[in-house]
């Protein structure tokens, strides 16, 4: 008899028996059980023998909340991709499960029925954000554009927080002619905790998607540790800055666009692209897969560049120190980056420098090693975040390999990724 999630079973591996409750496994060829001591243990199915299975009565784990549409509310769309915000604890098994249907997410925030109508709810995939790929970005861009061009006033994308800022940057470049809000929201705390932040983030995101005059890709997440308000942050100028804090997302080298309160009050804090419901969005989804990020650090052996050259990479973003420095005048010549960078550029690789400091900008004209790199053809990308530079370079390389065209576009503002006059607020420096 094949055991199912929620069944209490006994497994035999070698001479040892294991008894516990079956919980969801991410792989079809494995089985995971929760032991009586609270720990989970997993096995390959072909490595164990099922001794006994006690079927448990299945209760409906996830409640659904269905809303009647109201004519006085704007219509938006929701795209669910996974992450903490799209999970719930199954108290029968003690495991965490993805929501099985996107509609189940409304169980967390029934207040949504008084904020917007949901024109469409889709879930193209359910994965943790660290597992995102360029193909995921392509799917999200196409789905968001489809919804916006079909009449939705805005789109909410629920997403894991670990790489939320990568996705917001990618969509900022891919969604061309965008003039409606695309709001990415997530949760830092799991839904079984009193400090769960997903409900508030979802509510605030719904206000921005349906009621604001914003017309660009933004992240909407907690602005403080308390449930005071959410910040609305430009998709190309934001970064996750703490592993667990609810106010982890901060604007870098810029100001917060707006604050949104739970009662729907929107407090504009800086300029942004305005909504224009007449524009048609074009999903420009070409991305070059062979791009990478490298971080400069002491004792870095530049032989690693040979790997990227030999593998045919098209672009490299270097997280250089401070103003954009990498080793040039080293005691041991093998640690100098000069020859490796020169060879990479000669082989047609676009090399971009961003500051690993995050705050501030790169400038090749202050110290001699910067001038050396700039003269060889390294592109210094002002105050752009390394992650944003990586996604922008990948997107540009999806359209052309021409160095001069890429340099011109890397140094031009496409989605607010460059600030020529750095701003900040209490969330930054």
Place of tokens 């795209």: 79
Q: Given 56, 142, 162, 213, which residue is catalytic?
A: 162
Nearest CA-CA partner of 20 in 62, 47, 51, 57: 51
Q: Give Cα separations from 93 to 36, 285, 324 (angstroms).
A: 11, 41, 51
Report the C-alpha gap between 141 and 242 in whole angstroms: 27
Instruction: Judge contact between 190 and 84, C-beta under 8 A.
Output: yes
Q: Is 240 tagged catalytic?
A: yes
Instruction: Judge contact between 113 and 73, C-beta under 8 A.
Output: no
Instruction: Judge contact between 86 and 126, C-beta under 8 A.
Output: yes
Q: Is 161 tagged catalytic?
A: yes
Q: Given 84, 116, 167, 248, which residue is catalytic?
A: 84
Q: What residues contact 310, with CB distance under 8 A and at least 6 apart?
A: none
In terms of DSSP H, where are the helices of 80-216?
Answer: 134-149, 164-174, 198-211
Q: What is the DSSP letter of 218?
A: E
Q: Given 153, 180, 237, 240, which residue is catalytic?
A: 240
Report the C-alpha gap between 28 and 366 in whole angstroms: 56
- Residues listed for the chain: 429
H or E stretch covering 339: helix 338-346
Q: Is 291 tagged catalytic?
A: no
Nearest CA-CA partner of 307 in 326, 294, 320: 294
Q: Given 81, 93, 158, 161, which residue is catalytic?
A: 161
Name the β-bridge partners of 320: 355
Distance of CA 187 to the CA centre of its chain: 12
Report the C-alpha gap between 256 and 269 in whole angstroms: 6
Report the C-alpha gap between 7 and 58 in whole angstroms: 9
Q: What residues contact 383, with CB distance under 8 A and at least 6 apart?
A: 252, 253, 355, 360, 361, 362, 418, 419, 422
Q: Is 162 tagged catalytic?
A: yes
Instruction: Judge contact between 180 and 153, C-beta under 8 A.
Output: yes
Give catalytic residue positions.
84, 161-162, 240
């Amino acid at each position: 008899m094949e055991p199912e999630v929620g069944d209490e079973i006994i497994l035999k591996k070698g001479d040892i028996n294991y008894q516990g409750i079956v919980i969801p496994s991410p792989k079809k060829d494995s089985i995971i059980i929760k032991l009586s001591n609270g720990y989970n243990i997993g096995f390959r199915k072909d490595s164990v023998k099922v001794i006994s299975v006690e079927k448990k009565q299945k209760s409906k784990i996830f409640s659904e909340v269905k809303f009647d549409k109201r004519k006085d509310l704007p219509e938006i769309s929701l795209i669910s991709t996974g992450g903490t915000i799209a999970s719930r604890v199954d108290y029968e098994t003690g495991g965490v499960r993805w929501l099985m249907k996107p509609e189940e997410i409304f169980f967390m925030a029934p207040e949504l029925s008084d904020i917007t109508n949901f024109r469409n709810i889709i879930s193209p995939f359910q994965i943790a954000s660290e597992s995102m790929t360029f193909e995921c970005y392509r799917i999200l861009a196409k789905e968001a554009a489809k919804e916006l061009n079909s009449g939705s006033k805005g789109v909410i994308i629920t997403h894991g927080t670990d790489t939320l800022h990568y996705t917001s940057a990618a969509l900022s470049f891919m969604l061309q002619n965008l003039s409606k809000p695309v709001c990415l929201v997530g949760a830092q705390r799991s839904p079984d905790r009193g400090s769960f932040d997903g409900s508030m983030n979802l509510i605030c995101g719904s206000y921005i998607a349906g009621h604001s005059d914003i017309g660009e890709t933004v992240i909407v997440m907690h602005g403080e540790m308390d449930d005071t308000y959410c910040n609305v942050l430009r998709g190309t100028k934001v970064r996750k800055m703490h592993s667990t804090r609810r106010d982890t997302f901060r604007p870098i080298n810029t100001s917060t666009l707006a604050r949104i309160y739970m009662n729907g009050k929107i407090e504009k804090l800086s300029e942004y692209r305005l909504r224009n419901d007449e524009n048609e969005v074009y999903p420009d989804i070409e991305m070059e897969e062979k791009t990478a990020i490298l971080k400069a650090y002491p004792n870095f052996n530049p032989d690693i560049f040979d790997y990227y050259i030999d593998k045919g990479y098209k672009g490299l973003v270097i997280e250089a120190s401070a103003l954009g420095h990498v080793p040039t005048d080293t005691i041991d010549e093998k640690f100098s980056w000069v020859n490796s960078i020169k060879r990479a550029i000669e082989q047609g690789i676009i090399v971009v420098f961003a500051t690993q400091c995050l705050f501030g900008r790169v400038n090749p004209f202050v110290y001699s090693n910067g001038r050396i790199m700039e003269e060889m053809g390294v592109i210094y990308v002002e105050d752009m975040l390394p992650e944003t530079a990586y996604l922008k370079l990948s997107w540009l390389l999806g359209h052309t390999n021409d160095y001069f065209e890429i340099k011109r576009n890397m140094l031009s503002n496409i989605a607010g990724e460059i600030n020529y006059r750095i701003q900040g607020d209490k969330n930054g420096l």
